[in-house]
Amino acid sequence: MNKVLEEIIDLMKSAGTRPMETGVPGLSMIKGDIPAHQLAALYEPMIGFTVQGTKILSIGERSTTLEGPSYYVLPVHVPATASVHPDRDGRPYMSLGLALNQNILQRLLRDLPENLIPTSSGQFAACEINIEFMEAWLRLLRLSNTSRDIPALAPAYEREILYRVLMGPQGWYLRQLGLRESNFSKISQIVDWFRDNFMRPIDIGEMASKSGMAVNTFHRQFKRATGLSPIQFQKQLRLLEARNLIAFEGYAVASAAYQVGYQSPSQFNREYSRFFGSSPARDTEKLRRIESARDARLN
């Protein structure tokens, strides 16, 4: 396993503290001391491979430690905060991310016997990665150096990665996501609606009705899929967007609050401070200072 891991690390030597595309569709890499504000984001549906170091990912009130080498599954878009740390020997944090491809997943599910896939999963957590799974990631990453092979081989290697996740402790989530009529798949569609409409007032009863669920069932399924209640999900999307407007687009605090759907600037300030750990003004000053220092280093 060490030789496989060493080759993966070598292939990632050009990665930096912003996600870098590898040339393989859906596959990105990142490494180093990533600023915490960059890690507060709306995370895309993906399979993450923590290669080295540790990531502490917080979704709602629950924090999960993802220590490398291990993998994890985010089956739907979810707002989260995180921090990353070197490994015990001081080597930098490194990770790979593979965006979930619904078409490949659905074709794979059609080819697998239904009774082969686990029917339940534990809570979101880091999952042990074995040598066969790691080798699949290595084969996919190697394609970044042989671009002519990508169209023919990338889908096959990606399919293997999806298969090994399906067979693992988080496989239930992928299975439910790939079944068009499952409650989980319906929640995924609601999450997509949220991404485009988070500034609008939400009607939980109407959402539940559209999903074909009772309100209590809808709440339970939404939280199972995202780790958040619908109201928490909307609130965190609003706060993430407001942070970007204030720090990088020059909005005044009150203007940003109204722009993302808040009616009370004082409530916005309280919730912003609770989520990000400091007031909008102080947080913005810190973000601009970090980004200016980073730009100066790059130039």
Q: Residues of the chain with pLDDT > 70: what percent?
A: 95
Domain with residues 232-298, CATH architecture = Orthogonal Bundle (1.10)
Contacts of 182 (CB under 8 A, 6+ apart): 176
pLDDT of 120 > 80? The answer is no
Per-residue model confidence (pLDDT) at position 118: 66
**Quick one: average pLDDT of 87-99?**
96
149-152 long-range CB contacts below 8 Å, 24 or more apart?
Answer: 150/23, 150/24, 150/25
Which ranges in the chain are annotated with CATH 1.10.10.60? Answer: 232-298
Per-residue model confidence (pLDDT) at position 175: 84
Per-residue model confidence (pLDDT) at position 169: 87
Token pair recorded at residue 98: 């593979």
Token pair recorded at residue 295: 């730009």
Q: Count CB-CB contacts under 10 A for residue 141.
A: 22
Domain with residues 2-177, CATH architecture = Sandwich (2.60)
Which ranges in the chain are annotated with CATH 2.60.120? Answer: 2-177
